Structures are given as C-alpha cells and as structure tokens.
C-alpha cells in the first residue's frame, strides 16, 4: 500500500525546491556559531522564541565565560537564568543547559565528537532522553553540531512542504522528516542548506500570513495557486459590484 505522501499529487519535488531556493537565496551559512557546543546551546535557547532573542542570551553567556559544558554544568542556576532571560522561559532553559552539559560530561567526557561517533539512532535516543530536548532540538544538535545526516523538520519546513502539497498539511514532525530523508538521501550539506533555506523562505514569504502574490513559487504551489484564484474572484466580484453601483448612481442623478 503506498504511503500517504506518495498518494499526493505534487507539482514540485524536494530536489527541485532545494535548487530553486538555493538559486534565489544562495549559501545560507547556517548555523552561526563559533563552536559546536555553542550550536547546542543555541538549539536549546531558540526553543519557543526568535533567533534574535536566542542570540542575546548566547552573547550574555559568552560574555560571562560560560559557553562550555564544563562551565555550565557547575554554574549556579540562578546566574544562568539571569543571563538567558532574553530568550524567554529562562528558568526552564537554564536548567536544560545544565542538564545537557552534565549529560555531555558524564556520558561522553564533554565531547560532541564522541557523541557523533556512535550510531545515529543511539545518539538521537540519548538526546531525546534528556528532559527538555525534543525532536527538533535533538536533530538540530545532530545536524549542525555533530554533522550527522538528519533533517530538521521544524515548523517552517512543515508549513512550506504542506502548502506546496509535498506532504499533508497536518503531517507531524516524524512524518515530514522521514519524507524529506527518503526524497533526497543522506547528504549532510544538503540537509543543512535545505533546512536553512526553508527557514529563510518561511520568514520572508511563506509566513503564517503568506505573501503569495509576491512569491516566486506561487504557480507551483497548491496552497498559493488556490489562494490567488480565490483573491482574484473576490477582486473581480468587488469590481463588478462597484461598477454596478456607479451605473446605478448615474441613473439616479440623471
């Protein structure tokens, strides 16, 4: 029996989508960090907030000399809370940073290389066993800090792929992740770029309220094509109604 993804009629496949986005936006240069550990901290701090807010918290941690597993694992939690306040949910995030740091020290001698050296399914399960580390955070760490071939199916990715008709609009994280990985194979660089390009596209055009009229994919997009057709019908109806009112007014004045 074919999968739900395969039963969809699509106008664009993942490889072509990647090529178009790359031609428009170029090299995304993501994830911005000086060290692999900073990537991990950023993945935790950007939970439920914008990257701009997470960046402020990262800068505070670095200024305080706490951007390492060793420092965070033994730092006073109230001090960490104060530093990460800009990222929101600062009490939870401060504790998650400490717990992750202790996990890395106790299980892998503080080495992300050691974590990356074990089988990917095991390393992912280890991360998911940490309180406060969900699928998106775990996969971000594996892809961007450990250079492991895993796709980050975040909210931007799910929204865009759903609107394009590549997956069902209500597909969950695991389903979208599996679909992309089956579609384009296990290329770390491609996963890195594709995820970052989808985020860029999602921020600029395919937002919660999408700018379909300005989108370079609207004629290839299931959602966008339908939305523009509806808007055109409404516009035509409004124009017709306005013309009718004007003719009526002229007759009344005549």
DSSP string, 51-111: HHHHHHHHHHHHHTT--SHHHHHHS-HHHHHHHTGGGSSHHHHHHHHHHHHHHHHHHHTT-
CB 20 within 8 Å of CB 200? no
Place of tokens 């759903």: 162
Q: What are the sequence ranges of the domains in the chain?
A: 36-145, 218-253
Distance from C-alpha of 88 to C-alpha of 47, rounded to nearest angstrom? 9
d(CA 228, CA 35): 44
Report the C-alpha gap between 36 and 247 in whole angstroms.
69
pLDDT digits 0-9 by tens, 80-89:
999 999 999 9
Which pLDDT tens digit goes with each residue over 72-120?
999 999 999 999 999 999 999 999 999 999 999 999 999 999 999 999 9
pTM over 0.95: no
Q: What percent of the chain has pLDDT over 90?
A: 81
Cα–Cα distance, 185 to 71 (Å, whole number): 38
3-state secondary structure of 171: coil
Task: With cut-offs at 50, 70 and 90, classify the pLDDT of residue 2.
Answer: very low
Examine the pLDDT at 254 and tell me if it is beyond 60.
no
Taking the alpha carbons of 72, 78, 82, 86 in that order, is the dihedral positive or negative?
positive
Checking if the pLDDT of 197 tops 70, the result is yes
Q: Please tell me the distance from the alpha carbon of residue 206 to that of residue 202, in angstroms, as a whole number.
A: 4
pLDDT cut 70: percent of the chain above it: 88
Lowest mean per-residue pLDDT among 18-27, 48-57, 217-226: 217-226
36-145 folds as: Endonuclease III; domain 1 (1.10.340)
Tokens of 95: 């504790």
User: Residue 149: is it exposed, middle or buried by C-beta count within 10 angstroms (0-12/13-18/19+)?
Assistant: middle
Contact 184, 15 (CB under 8 A): yes
* pLDDT classification of 5: cutoffs 50, 70, 90: very low
What would the two tokens of residue 148 be? Answer: 């492991």
């Amino acid at each position: 029996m074919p999968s739900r993804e395969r039963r969809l009629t699509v106008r664009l496949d993942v490889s072509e989508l990647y090529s178009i986005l790359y031609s428009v936006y170029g090299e995304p240069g993501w994830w911005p960090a000086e060290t692999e550990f900073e990537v991990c901290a950023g993945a935790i701090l950007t939970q439920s907030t914008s990257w701009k807010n997470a960046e402020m918290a990262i800068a505070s941690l670095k200024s305080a000399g706490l951007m390492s597993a060793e420092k965070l694992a033994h730092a006073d939690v109230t001090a960490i809370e104060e530093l990460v306040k800009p990222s929101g949910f600062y009490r939870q995030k401060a504790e998650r940073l400490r717990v992750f740091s202790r996990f890395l020290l106790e299980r892998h001698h503080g080495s992300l290389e050691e974590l990356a050296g074990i089988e990917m399914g095991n390393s992912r399960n280890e991360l998911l066993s940490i309180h406060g580390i969900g699928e998106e955070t775990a996969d971000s760490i594996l892809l961007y800090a450990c250079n492991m071939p895993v796709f980050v199916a975040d909210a931007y990715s799910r929204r865009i792929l759903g609107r394009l008709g590549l997956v069902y609009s209500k597909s969950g994280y695991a389903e979208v992740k599996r679909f992309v990985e089956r579609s384009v194979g296990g290329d770390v660089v491609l996963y890195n770029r594709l995820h970052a390009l989808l985020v860029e596209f999602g921020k600029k055009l395919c937002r919660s309220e999408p700018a379909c009229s300005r989108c370079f994919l609207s004629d290839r997009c299931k959602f966008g094509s339908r939305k523009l057709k509806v808007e055109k019908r409404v516009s035509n109806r409004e124009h017709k109604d306005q013309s009718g009112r004007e003719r009526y007014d002229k007759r009344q004045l005549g």
